[in-house]
Amino acid sequence: MQNSRDVSGAPARNTLLSAAIAAALLGAAASQAAPVTVRGTVAGSLFTPPVNASNPANSTASTTVASTYAGAKVCFDLNNNGACDANEPNTLTSATGSFQLTSATNANVIAEISTSATNNGSPAAQRLVLRTSAAGITPVSPLVPATITVTPLTTEVVRMMENNEALGTTGGATYANAKASLAQRLGVDPSVVLSNPASVTGAAQKAILAESVVLTNRFGFAAKMVDRADPSPASLKVNPSNPTAIQIPEAQQVAMNVEGIPRYDHIFVIMLENKATSSILNSPFAPHIDAILAANNQFTNYFATGNPSEPNYTALGAGDDFGITNDDQWNCDTTTTVNGVVTPTANYPQDLPLPDKNAPGLQNSPFTTVCNDTPVVNHNIFGTANLFNSATTGGLAWRTYNESMNPGQDARTDSIADTAVTAPDHVYAPGTLAGNITPVGSPTLTLPLPAGLYKTKHNPAMAYQNVRSAPEFKSSNRTLGGGQWDATLLHTSVYSVPAGYNTDQFGSDLSSGDIGALNYVIPDQCDDMHSITVSGTDSATGHSATASDCGGVGSGIDGGNDPAPDDKADNIMARGDSYVQYLVNKIQTSAVWQNQAKREAIVIMFDEGGATFNATAGTTFDKTNSCCGWVPGTSSSNPTNVHPLIESPPGSGNFVPDTTVQNYGAGNHGHGNSIFAVLTNQPNAPKQIKDSDAYSHFSFVRTLQDMFGLSDPEVSASYVNRSKYTESFIAANITNLPEYMGSADTHFDAVRPMSHAYAIASGFSEKQSLDESVINAGTTTNPPGGNAAGTVPPQLGPDGNQTNIWALHP
């Protein structure tokens, strides 16, 4: 078989013409094996990443346009190795991305896009191999070439076919089924899903382009694996000592399953507050969460970063708490005050104006422009990588959905009290609150909106200057409905209500599909089990009274032992539990979730375990340490030897201590452990799996980066902050990580993704220091050898079932 002309630099039209002639001649000459001629375009998207600067004036949003690749090498991939080999018919695309090519036998057509190719005239940002299925090539006649496109989406169809991924069982993952699945996932017509994006318009084009950007990144990563000759996982399994190098088809699968975490379209992370595992499990105040845990999947050994809230949410945004150990406002310690003169430090906020009461429309803002702490710990984190910037750089959207914000408020401030907004107390009839015998709550109690239902300390994006300065920041912080005061929120007297204000943007977005890939769903401080003081006047008595289910310390202190609850600390658990059920129902009945071509997941988690000690007999203690990226080294008040590591120079793989972060050794000490539930919409996904390996917020942040294809496991610096602290990373940097020296359990101390991608050795014995069950076994409150409800035994060897909770198939 004669190659088409390799005509680098030749005029495109000549290429096509000569190819057509050659094809015609060949067609005439070869009578038996009908040659296949295709003409088409290598097309995709040109994505200009956002600029995430500290100063909003220097930040820009990303842009995406339909594009074609010129100078890409196109060939029939006869041996399906994802490369244009010398014996395979190939050509280069023209300036408009077009090509024509003939082969004696049909095969997948692929386009090798090197960095010398151009994408809409600009050098291609990364090497990339795109493919289109042979099954999609329908020759009309030898003289009329089949028309095809080679795009990231056609590549995805090939990958899906090779992985048997398509909805429905009829015929399996045929070309038609895979194409239909992809179309259904994106909500576009199958007839256009594989078209040149430039030829599609409107919402369909937008959806295709968005997908194209994500796939371009994933397949770029696949090409990178091939280029650096990563070992083939399949080959490793057969021949671990001498594996062959990975090739494109396998690499494109791995790129969709980084560290065992499959790609999901959307994740909803429902954040709850301050409950230990032992407070929730088997509690009559948490029947819905317990039922969800029983029916779905659970990580049973999950740890927080610290105590109180803000360090945990900060860590959930970027895998570190940066020495923040309190709940103070995000601009704290960005000024110095000497003799009454306030001077901004280098960390002073750049997202000016600050949202204080002098800002337009914020006459009642509670924000203070000067906040000083002791010890001094900068709360405005500058220039660090984080999930939000990573998402937008990867062409993905993020959201925080926040309940009970004041209409018209700035998301950078806490919500405030509003007497014009009122709600009746929640009344629980007998038998509706952990078997209550008498009603709980007062039907005659009216509660005005209290301050602080929305708190910036509970917003995982808030600490980061680069996120607050990003163009999408304001529009990405949205409202969440279902709150006690929603019905009268628009009666507000404190801020002017923006036109068209929607108190439940979350509900609307679920309907329209305008959700983020990463969605933090953040209930207010009553619905998240946190508790604040909510009081009003009871018209029956004329006296002040507090809400039935938002008071107390929120410990669940007598959870499980109290048939007639009078303890508001327990009641708020029931309230939060009901709200979780509301959110789960809302998500699960949405079109997004019902579309099983989309991969959707819900996480139900707590910012921290909260209680580490429980004074009531019969209850259990929770672990006081943490794991997986924590700082186990010191809790001295002036730690001088523990620092975050930064790559210097960037891209070098060399890490040095960043000594500018204050109070660092006091942060990231951990708290544990707490509930972590995973629900997915995938019908064949594992259910009722409990993974007992230890994970932390840092593990979760790493998992999210894998899930959304934002990082490369071979490049530590591609993971944000402490989420890069794998065993091998720590080992390589141990001299700069004194907190890990002398570790008795390096697996426990290190970060890993929440899959079983990194298998625990069979001889492993978890040495989590404050293990409850062993210590409590044999006490008067726990039977010898047994575990009290909610305690977690230390793990011996790998997790028993080794089932990946995030897997899409059994």
Partner 1 sequence: MPALRKIIFAIAAATTFVAAVAWSSAALAWTPDKNSLAYRLASHDPLSAAAVVGQAMFFDKSLSDSGKLSCASCHDPDHAYAPANGLAVQPGGKDMKLAGTRAVPSLRYKDFVPPYADLLDNPDGVSAPGPGGGYTQDGRARNRAEQAEIPLLSPNEMANKNGAAVVAAIHASSYADRFRQAFGADIFDRPKDAFAKAKEALQAFQTEDYSFHPFSSKFDLFARNKIGGTFTPAERRGFAVFRDPERGNCAACHYHGAGLAGESGLFTDFSYEAIGVPRNAGIPANRERGYYDLGICARSDHPLPANARFCGMFKTPTLRNVTTRKVFFHNGEIKSLREAIDFYNTRDTNPERWYPRAHGVVQEFDDLPPRYRANLDKQGPLDGRAPGSKPPMSEQDIDDLIAFLNTLTDDYDPEQAKAVGQTQAQTRTPRPEPPESSK
Task: List the interface residues with partner 1, window 300-339 (CB under 8 A).
Answer: 306-308, 325-326
Residues 211-230 that bind partner 1 (CB under 8 A): 230
Cα(674)–Cα(652) distance, integer angstroms: 37
- Written as six digits, the tokens of 598 are 């989309």
User: By C-alpha distance, which of 200, 216, 251, 221 is closest to 44?
Assistant: 216
| Residue 7, amino acid | V
Q: Residue 76: CB partners within 8 Å, gap ≥ 6?
A: 36, 88, 89, 90, 101, 103, 105, 106, 107, 108, 109
- Is 163 an interacting residue with respect to partner 1 (CB under 8 A)? yes
Query: Given the complex with partner 1, which of 253 and 389 has the nearer CB atom?
Result: 253
Check the CA dihedral 527-529-533-534 and report its sign.
positive
Q: What are phi and psi of 595, to 5 degrees?
A: -80, 95
Among 52, 154, 257, 283, binds partner 1 (CB under 8 A): 257
Specify the amino acid at residue 680.
Answer: T
For partner 1, the binding residue among 56, 142, 260, 439 (CB under 8 A) is: 260
Which one of 187, 233, 507, 793 is in contact with partner 1 (CB under 8 A)? Answer: 233
Q: Does 177 bind partner 1 (CB under 8 A)?
A: no
Q: 42 and 113 in contact (C-beta within 8 Å)?
A: yes
Convert residues 609-628 into a mask of x (bound to partner 1 by CB under 8 A) and - (unbound).
-xxxxxxxx---x--xx---
Handedness of CA 479, 484, 489, 493 (dihedral sign): negative
Residue 178 CB, nearest approach to partner 1 (Å):
11
Q: How far is the CB of 240 from partner 1 (least distance, A)?
A: 7
Q: Which is nearer to partner 1, 45 or 804 (CB)?
A: 804
- Residue closer to partner 1, measured from CB, 413 or 776: 776
Site for partner 1 contains 669 (CB under 8 A): yes
Query: Closest Cα partner for 581 from 290, 334, 306?
Result: 290
Instruction: Tell me: does residue 355 bind partner 1 (CB under 8 A).
Output: no
Dihedral angle, C-alpha 345, 350, 353, 355, nearest 10 °: -80
Q: Does 252 bind partner 1 (CB under 8 A)?
A: no
Q: Does 809 bind partner 1 (CB under 8 A)?
A: yes
| CA–CA gap between residue 230 and residue 599 (Å, rounded) | 28
**Stretch binding partner 1 (CB under 8 A), from 84-92, 125-133, 597-605, 779-787:** 779-787
* Footprint on residues 113-132 left by partner 1 (CB under 8 A): none
Stretch that binds partner 1, among 80-88, 382-390, 424-432, 635-643 (CB under 8 A): 635-643
Binding residues with partner 1: total (CB under 8 A): 91
Shortest gap between Cβ of 752 and partner 1 (angstroms)?
A: 8
The answer to the question of residue 250 lying near partner 1 (CB under 8 A) is yes
Query: Taking CB under 8 A as the rule, does residue 633 contact partner 1?
Result: yes
Q: Does 759 bind partner 1 (CB under 8 A)?
A: yes
| 8 A C-beta contact, residue 728 and residue 658 | no
27 or 632: CB nearest partner 1: 632
Q: How far is the CB of 132 from partner 1 (least distance, A)?
A: 19
Contact residue for partner 1 among 53, 370, 757, 789 (CB under 8 A) = 757
Binding to partner 1 (CB under 8 A): which residues in 552-591? Answer: 553, 555, 557
Q: CA-CA distance, 155 to 138, in Å (whole number)?
A: 17
Beta strands, E only, 232-355: 257-258, 261-262, 266-272, 297-299, 302-304, 335-338, 341-344
In whole angstroms, give the CA distance from residue 82 to residue 704: 28
User: Which CB atom, from 516 or from 551, has the smaller least distance to partner 1?
Assistant: 551
CB 259 to partner 1: min, Å: 7
641 is a contact residue toward partner 1 (CB under 8 A): yes
Residue 164 is a binding residue for partner 1 (CB under 8 A): yes
Is 747 a binding residue for partner 1 by CB under 8 A? The answer is yes
State the minimum distance, in angstroms, from the CB of residue 785 to partner 1.
Answer: 14
Count the Cβ atoms, other than its own, within 10 Å of residue 562. Answer: 18
Distances (CA, A) of 631 to 606, 669, 725: 20, 5, 11
Q: Does 658 bind partner 1 (CB under 8 A)?
A: no
The yes or no reply on residue 763 touching partner 1 (CB under 8 A) is: no
525 three-class SS: coil
> By C-beta, is 578 or 625 nearer to partner 1?
625
Asked if residues 503 and 479 have their Cβ atoms less than 8 Å apart, the reply is yes
- Closest contact distance (angstroms) between CB of 632 and partner 1 is 4
Site string for partner 1, 519-558 (x = CB under 8 A): ----------------------------------x-x-x-
767 contacts partner 1 (rule: CB under 8 A): yes
Q: State yes or no: residue 746 binds partner 1 (CB under 8 A).
A: yes
Token digits for 512? Answer: 């329209």
Stretch that binds partner 1, among 16-24, 463-471, 539-547, 604-612 (CB under 8 A): 604-612
> Radius of gyration over alpha carbons of the chain, in Å?
29
209 in helix, strand or coil? helix
Q: Which stretch binds partner 1 (CB under 8 A): 35-43, 65-73, 236-244, 423-431?
A: 236-244
Among 447, 449, 431, smallest CA distance to 439 is for 431
For partner 1, the closer of residues 520 and 740 by Cβ is 740
- Contact criterion met (CB below 8 Å) for 520 and 506: no
Q: What is the C-alpha end-to-end distance of the chain, expressed in Å? A: 44
Any contact of residue 632 with partner 1 (CB under 8 A)?
Answer: yes
726-745 positions binding partner 1, by CB under 8 A:
726-728, 730-732, 734, 738, 740-745
| Closest alpha carbon to 67 in 207, 211, 179, 212 | 212
Residues forming a β-bridge with 60: 51
Could you tell me which stretch among 339-347, 429-437, 445-453, 668-676 binds partner 1 (CB under 8 A)? Answer: 668-676
237 makes contact with partner 1 (CB under 8 A):
yes
How many angstroms separate the CA atoms of 643 and 767, rounded?
25
Site for partner 1 in 686-705 (CB under 8 A): none
In this complex, which beta carbon is closest to partner 1, that of residue 31 or of residue 638? Answer: 638
Q: Are strands 335-338 and 341-344 parallel, antiparallel or unpaired?
A: antiparallel
Which amino acid is present at 51? V
Q: Tokens standing for 698? A: 């840092």
Footprint of partner 1 on 266-305 (CB under 8 A): 274
Tell me whether strands 477-480 and 398-403 are parallel, antiparallel or unpaired. parallel
Closest CB to partner 1 among 5 and 767?
A: 767
Omega before residue 308 within 30° of 0, cis: yes
Binding segment for partner 1 (CB under 8 A), chosen from 112-120, 142-150, 429-437, 720-728, is 720-728
Among positions 89, 145, 713, 790, the unique one binding partner 1 when judged by CB under 8 A: 713
- Per CB under 8 A, the list member of 11, 383, 778, 786 interacting with partner 1 is 778
Exposure of 191 by Cβ count < 10 A (0-12 exposed, 13-18 middle, 19+ buried)?
A: exposed
> Would you say 65 or 236 has its CB closer to partner 1?
236
Is residue 201 involved in binding partner 1 (CB under 8 A)? Answer: no
- Residue from the set 666, 677, 678, 720 that interacts with partner 1 by CB under 8 A: 666
Q: Which is nearer to partner 1, 410 or 558 (CB)?
A: 558
Task: Indicate whether 157 belongs to the interface with partner 1 (CB under 8 A).
Answer: no
Structure tokens at 599: 């991969």
Looking at beta carbons only, is 309 or 335 nearer to partner 1? 309
User: Side chain identity at 87, as an amino acid letter?
Assistant: N
CB atoms closer than 10 angstroms to residue 220: 19
Q: Which C-beta is closer to partner 1: that of 136 or that of 632?
A: 632
By CB neighbour count within 10 A (0-12 exposed, 13-18 middle, 19+ buried), where does 444 fall?
Answer: middle
Contact 424, 447 (CB under 8 A): yes
